[in-house]
Amino acid sequence: MIRRFKLFLNPVEGQAKWLNGMASRGYRLSHVGNIFYYFEPVEAGKYQYAVDYVANKSLEHLQDYESFLEESKIRWIEKPGSIGKLSWGNVRYRPYADRGAQLATSWGMIKREFLILERENRSEPFEIYTTVGDQIQALKVRRKPYIYLAIFLSIMFLLQAFKLESMLNWSLWSYRPGNGTFSIILLGGLWVSVLISLVRFQLAIRKLKSQKEI
Amino acid sequence: MTVMKKAVETPLTETAFLILLAMYRPNHGYGVMQFVEEKTEGRVVFGPGTLYGAINNLFKKGLIEKYPTDPSERRQDYVITPLGKSHVQSELKRMQEVVAIAEGIVRSGEHD
């Protein structure tokens, strides 16, 4: 058994690529902990992996999907993710999720943002969505939390900017101690990275649309 | 002029059409996947997300229904409904029309 730590900027395609690379070197994903991935040695190239984003699914819907995967001879492993969540204690609000899944609680959903799918290797690549329409839909679902995050960060950014402005004005009643400039740089950086992700989603969706049936 | 609205008129996607055909006898997700791959000689391979979404969609629209299975089998079988069959029949008719038109044109190399 070997243990690996890995973070992904792209938790769907990036993670799948890495897991497939491990599989081609003879490592099968055994389980995923809070921080680490655990692998067991197997015959090289025996398994294939794909990653699905499932944070928008309600617990009931997710369990139904998981049993469907099982009957389709696909092994699944739940993987926590941490993009675009507003959390308060053990309850997380996901405005971007489907109805019934918006309030995520630790019983079922917080640690189930992604599903890693494993099947025995076949000649063709392992794709979860095989029609262009479904691929576009899957990207739109993944884009949603970034849209909310961008709105949230914009509001935070504006609040901070006003705070800084009043600090510069040096009026006694509005001055609050604290490093406003640092917050603005941090928020601005985050905002730019979210914006880049949004543009990437948009480009990928546009590319798929051009491949749709004539 | 009044336009008669037909009960079934939207063309089915290839995905929906093939799933409905696979469900003329009770079948489950994996069985549908194998049926389609075999019949199309590997041209059409459904990803699990696509198949799951399409089966749910057909079920919601009443084109397929759940078929009771042995609880020990841990799988859900579905079978096509009469409504599903009428969709398949109109799709087949539509396809035959298109094929007839295409064959006529392609064979003679031009329109009449």
Quick check: B45 contacting A, CB < 8 Å? Answer: yes
Asked if residue A180 is part of any domain, the answer here is yes
Q: How far is CA B73 from CA A54, A60, A67, in A?
A: 26, 20, 12
Q: Which of residues 82-101 of B touch A (CB under 8 A)?
A: none
Among A57, A62, A68, A142, the residue to mutate for chain B (most B Cβ within 10 A): A68
Query: If we measure between CA atoms, which residue out of B23, B54, B18, B12 comes closest to residue B38?
Result: B18
Query: If we measure between CA atoms, which residue out of A20, A45, A68, A10 comes closest to residue A121?
Result: A45
Tens digit of each residue's pLDDT (9 = 90 or more) over B4-57: 445 546 789 999 999 999 999 999 999 999 999 999 999 999 999 999 999 999
Question: For chain A, what is the mean pLDDT?
Answer: 82
Higher pLDDT, A154 or B71: A154
Tens digit of each residue's pLDDT (9 = 90 or more) over A16-51: 999 999 999 999 999 998 789 999 999 999 999 999
Q: Nearest-CA residue of chain B relative to A132?
A: B50
Contact of A44 with A12, CB cutoff 8 Å: no
Asked if residue A27 is part of any domain, the answer here is yes
Domain membership of residue A152 as a residue range: 132-211
Q: How many domains does chain A have?
A: 2
CA B44 to chain centroid, in Å, comes to 13
Asked if residue A47 is part of any domain, the answer here is yes
CATH topology of domain B14-108: Arc Repressor Mutant, subunit A (1.10.10)
**Given a cut of 50, is residue A101 above it in pLDDT?**
yes
CB atoms within 10 A of CB A197: 20
Quick check: B75 contacting A, CB < 8 Å? Answer: yes
Quick check: B24 contacting A, CB < 8 Å? Answer: no
Q: Assign A103 a pLDDT band (cuts: 50, 70, 90).
A: low
What pLDDT was estimated at residue A168? 60
